[in-house]
Amino acid sequence: MKIMFYNTGYCTGIGNSHLEYFSRCYRFLLAPKKIVSNIAEFIKQQKPDIVGFAEIDSGSFRTGFRSQIKHISKKLNFDHRSYTCKYPKISPLAYTPIFKRHCNGIISKENPEEVKHHFLSAGFKRLFIEYKVKNITFFLAHLALRKHVRKRQIEEISSIMKACKTKKVLMGDFNIFDGKEELKQLMKENSLKFTDKDEKTFPSWDPKKHLDFILTSKDIKVKNFKTFNKNLSDHLPIMVELR
C-alpha cells in the first residue's frame, strides 16, 4: 500500500523562490488551471492507494468554482474522498469567500469503512481527519504556526488517536519549527514511529525545514519512503510504501 501526503498550497504553483509569494500573489485570487492538472498527473504517475492533502481548494472563484480535490481524484480514478473546510463553524473564515473553500482532505481507491471530521479546540485551522481503510486508520493534520497552540493541538490529537484500536497512520504538515521533539509525547502515547530519514520538505526550492511527515504504528512494516523533488508547491510531496 502506498500513502502520499502533499501540501499543495491551493495549487498556485508557487514553488521556485520566496519572491514568488509577491510576484505571483495574484495566483491566490486566480489559480492557473495547469498547476492542478500537473499535480494530478504527477500523483497519478506514483500510483498511490491513498493521498492526503493540505491546502486544497474545494471550488472557490479562484479556481473558477472547480474543486481541485475532485479534479485530482477523478484523474486518478479514485471514487472515494473526504474533505471539508479546515476552519471551524465558529470562525468567520468558514463563511468568507475563498477561505470557506480552504480544505484538507483524503482520497482513496478503497471505500473507507469510517470517516470522522474532528475540530480541535485551538488555532485557526483546526480540522483533524480520521479515515479508516482495511483495518488501518489514517489521520490527517495541518497544525498551527504558533508553538503554544501547536502544543495544545498535539495533545488533543494524541487523545483522539489513543481511542483508536486499529493500526494507525498519521500524516500532515505539522509545522514543527522546533524539531521532532514536539511530537515525542504523541508518538510515545500512540506507539508511533517515523518512516523517513529526517528529510527536509520546506521550502521546496531550498528545503531547510522538516515539516511534513507520515508516521505509522510501530507494528506496521515500512518498505520504502520517498521525498519528491517537485516545485509545484512550496512544500515537497512525500510518500511511504507499506508491506
- Contacts (Cβ under 8 Å, ≥6 apart) of 5: 51, 52, 53, 54, 140, 171, 172, 173, 212, 213, 214, 237, 238, 239
Q: Whole domain around residue 78: which residue ranges? A: 2-242
Question: Is residue 239 pLDDT above 90, yes or no?
Answer: yes
pLDDT in the model for residue 243:
84
pLDDT above 90 for 49? yes
pLDDT at 145 over 90: yes
Is a pLDDT exceeding 90 seen at residue 99? yes
For residue 119, give Cα distances in angstroms to 168, 209, 234, 236: 19, 26, 25, 26
pLDDT for residue 197: 87
CATH code assigned at 186: 3.60.10.10
Global pTM value: 0.96
Structural contact between residues 219 and 193, judged by C-beta atoms closer than 8 angstroms: no
Q: How many structural domains comprise the chain?
A: 1
